[in-house]
Amino acid sequence: MNHEIDLSKYQIRTDLVLETIENQIENNGFEKTTYKENDIQVTQVTLDEKSAHMIDKKVGDYITIEFQDITDFHNRENVKTIVTKELQSLLKKANVKKEDRCLVIGLGNKKSTPDALGPCTIDHILVTNHLFLLDTPEDGFRQVCAISPGVMGETGIETSDIIYSVIQTTKPDFVIAIDALASQAISRVNKTIQMSNTGIHPGSGVGNNRKEISQETLGIPVIAIGVPTVVDAVTIVSDTIKYLHKFYAFQKDFINHPMRKMIYDGHINYLNKEVELNENDKKELFGIMGHFTEEETKTLINEVLTPIGYNLMITPKEIDFVIQHLSDIIGNGINQALHEKVTH
Amino acid sequence: MNHEIDLSKYQIRTDLVLETIENQIENNGFEKTTYKENDIQVTQVTLDEKSAHMIDKKVGDYITIEFQDITDFHNRENVKTIVTKELQSLLKKANVKKEDRCLVIGLGNKKSTPDALGPCTIDHILVTNHLFLLDTPEDGFRQVCAISPGVMGETGIETSDIIYSVIQTTKPDFVIAIDALASQAISRVNKTIQMSNTGIHPGSGVGNNRKEISQETLGIPVIAIGVPTVVDAVTIVSDTIKYLHKFYAFQKDFINHPMRKMIYDGHINYLNKEVELNENDKKELFGIMGHFTEEETKTLINEVLTPIGYNLMITPKEIDFVIQHLSDIIGNGINQALHEKVTH
Amino acid sequence: MNHEIDLSKYQIRTDLVLETIENQIENNGFEKTTYKENDIQVTQVTLDEKSAHMIDKKVGDYITIEFQDITDFHNRENVKTIVTKELQSLLKKANVKKEDRCLVIGLGNKKSTPDALGPCTIDHILVTNHLFLLDTPEDGFRQVCAISPGVMGETGIETSDIIYSVIQTTKPDFVIAIDALASQAISRVNKTIQMSNTGIHPGSGVGNNRKEISQETLGIPVIAIGVPTVVDAVTIVSDTIKYLHKFYAFQKDFINHPMRKMIYDGHINYLNKEVELNENDKKELFGIMGHFTEEETKTLINEVLTPIGYNLMITPKEIDFVIQHLSDIIGNGINQALHEKVTH
Amino acid sequence: MNHEIDLSKYQIRTDLVLETIENQIENNGFEKTTYKENDIQVTQVTLDEKSAHMIDKKVGDYITIEFQDITDFHNRENVKTIVTKELQSLLKKANVKKEDRCLVIGLGNKKSTPDALGPCTIDHILVTNHLFLLDTPEDGFRQVCAISPGVMGETGIETSDIIYSVIQTTKPDFVIAIDALASQAISRVNKTIQMSNTGIHPGSGVGNNRKEISQETLGIPVIAIGVPTVVDAVTIVSDTIKYLHKFYAFQKDFINHPMRKMIYDGHINYLNKEVELNENDKKELFGIMGHFTEEETKTLINEVLTPIGYNLMITPKEIDFVIQHLSDIIGNGINQALHEKVTH
Gap from D99 CA to chain A (nearest CA, Å): 40
Question: Mean pLDDT, chain C, as a whole number?
Answer: 85
pLDDT score recorded for residue A35: 96
Give the best residue of B123, B169, B339 to mutate against chain A (max A CB count within 10 A). B169
- For the cut 50, the answer to whether the pLDDT of residue A292 exceeds it is yes
Q: D304 and A240 in contact by Cβ < 8 A?
A: yes
Gap from D56 CA to chain C (nearest CA, Å): 27
Q: B143 and A157 in contact by Cβ < 8 A?
A: no
Q: Locate the chain C residue with the closest alpha carbon to D170.
A: C157
Residue D59 burial (10 A CB sphere; 0-12, 13-18, 19+): middle
Candidate from D233, D317, D319 with C-beta closest to A240: D233
Over residues B175-202, mean pLDDT: 92
D192 three-state secondary structure? strand
Domains in chain A: boundaries: 7-229+317-338, 235-314
How many of the other CB atoms lie within 10 Å of CB of C141? 17
Over residues B105-127, mean pLDDT: 97
Report the range of poorest mean pLDDT among B300-304, C25-29, C108-112, D111-115. C25-29
For residue A115, list chain D residues with Cβ-Cβ distance below 8 A: 317
Q: Locate the chain C residue with the closest alpha carbon to B284.
A: C287
Q: C145 and D154 in contact by Cβ < 8 A?
A: no
- For the cut 80, the answer to whether the pLDDT of residue A211 exceeds it is no
- Residues pairing with D44 in the sheet: D33, D63
Q: C155 and D169 in contact by Cβ < 8 A?
A: no
Check if A302 contacts D (Cβ < 8 Å): no
Check if B164 contacts A (Cβ < 8 Å): yes
For residue D128, list chain C residues with Cβ-Cβ distance below 8 A: 156
Q: A236 and D239 in contact by Cβ < 8 A?
A: no
Q: D306 and A266 in contact by Cβ < 8 A?
A: yes
How many of the other CB atoms lie within 10 Å of CB of D49? 8
- The amino acid sitting at B203 is G
Candidate from A260, A269, A285 with C-beta closest to D4: A260
Over residues B144-168, mean pLDDT: 94
Helix (H) / strand (E) element for C175: namely strand C174-182
- For the cut 70, the answer to whether the pLDDT of residue B339 exceeds it is yes
pLDDT score recorded for residue B252: 73
Gap from D314 CA to chain A (nearest CA, Å): 4
Check if C267 contacts B (Cβ < 8 Å): yes
Q: Show which subunits contact A, needing at least 3 CB pairs below 8 angstroms.
A: B, D
Candidate from B122, B129, B169 with C-beta closest to A162: B169
For residue A111, list chain D residues with Cβ-Cβ distance below 8 A: 320-321
pLDDT tens sequence across C29-53? 677 899 999 999 999 999 888 888 8
Alpha-carbon distances, residue A279 vs A276, A282, D101, D325 (angstroms): 9, 5, 68, 50
Q: C259 and B312 in contact by Cβ < 8 A?
A: no
Over residues B194-208, mean pLDDT: 73
Over residues B277-290, mean pLDDT: 86
Check if B74 contacts C (Cβ < 8 Å): no
For residue C164, list chain D residues with Cβ-Cβ distance below 8 A: 169
Please report, in tens digits, the pLDDT of each residue of chain D (344 residues total): 333 443 344 444 567 777 777 766 455 667 789 999 999 999 999 988 888 887 778 889 999 999 988 888 899 999 999 999 999 999 999 999 999 999 999 999 999 999 999 999 999 999 999 888 777 777 899 999 999 999 999 999 999 999 999 999 999 999 999 999 988 888 899 999 999 999 988 765 444 456 788 998 889 999 999 999 999 999 999 999 988 888 888 777 665 544 444 444 555 677 777 778 888 888 888 888 888 888 888 888 988 898 888 888 999 999 999 999 999 999 999 999 999 999 87
For residue D320, list chain A residues with Cβ-Cβ distance below 8 A: 111-113
Instruction: Inspect the structure and tell me whether chains A and C have 3 or more CB pairs less than 8 Å apart.
Output: no
Q: A315 and D319 in contact by Cβ < 8 A?
A: yes
For residue A153, list chain B residues with Cβ-Cβ distance below 8 A: 127, 130
Q: C147 and D130 in contact by Cβ < 8 A?
A: no
Q: D144 and C128 in contact by Cβ < 8 A?
A: no
Interface of D with C in 99-128 (CB under 8 A): 122, 127-128
Candidate from B257, B261, B307 with C-beta closest to C267: B307
Give the best residue of D105, D111, D122, D155 to mutate against chain C (max C CB count within 10 A). D155
pTM reported for the whole predicted model: 0.90
- Long-range interactions of A3-6: CB distance < 8 A, separation 24+: A3/A288, A3/D258, A3/D259, A3/D284, A3/D285, A4/D259, A4/D260, A5/A296, A5/A300, A5/D259, A5/D260, A6/D259, A6/D260, A6/D261
Dist. CA C104–CA C333, nearest whole Å: 13
Q: D315 and A315 in contact by Cβ < 8 A?
A: yes
Q: What is the CATH number of domain D7-229+317-338?
A: 3.40.50.1450
Q: CB under 8 Å to D172, separation ≥6 — which residues?
A: D101, D102, D103, D145, D220
Is the model more confident about D168 or about C267? D168
For residue B268, list chain C residues with Cβ-Cβ distance below 8 A: 307
pLDDT score recorded for residue D293: 87
CB C175 within 8 A of CB C167: yes
Dist. CA C102–CA C134, nearest whole Å: 18
For residue A144, list chain B residues with Cβ-Cβ distance below 8 A: 156
Q: A148 and B146 in contact by Cβ < 8 A?
A: no
C231 three-state secondary structure? strand
Check if C147 contacts D (Cβ < 8 Å): yes
pLDDT tens sequence across C63-104? 999 998 888 889 999 999 999 999 999 999 999 999 999 999
Check if B179 contacts C (Cβ < 8 Å): no
- Residues pairing with B61 in the sheet: B46
Q: Find the farthest-apart pair of alpha carbons in chain C and give their distance in angstroms, rounded.
A: 80
Phi, psi (deg, nearest 5) at residue C33 = -125, 150
Q: C165 and D169 in contact by Cβ < 8 A?
A: yes
Give the best residue of D190, D314, D319, D323 to mutate against chain A (max A CB count within 10 A). D314
Helix intervals (H) in chain D? 17-22, 49-54, 73-93, 117-122, 129-134, 152-155, 159-170, 215-218, 233-255, 279-286, 294-305, 319-338
For residue A287, list chain D residues with Cβ-Cβ distance below 8 A: 282-287, 289-290
pLDDT score recorded for residue A19: 76
Among residues B11, B10, B225, B264, which one has the least CA distance to residue B120? Answer: B225
- The amino acid sitting at D181 is L
Candidate from B4, B260, B310 with C-beta closest to C2: B260
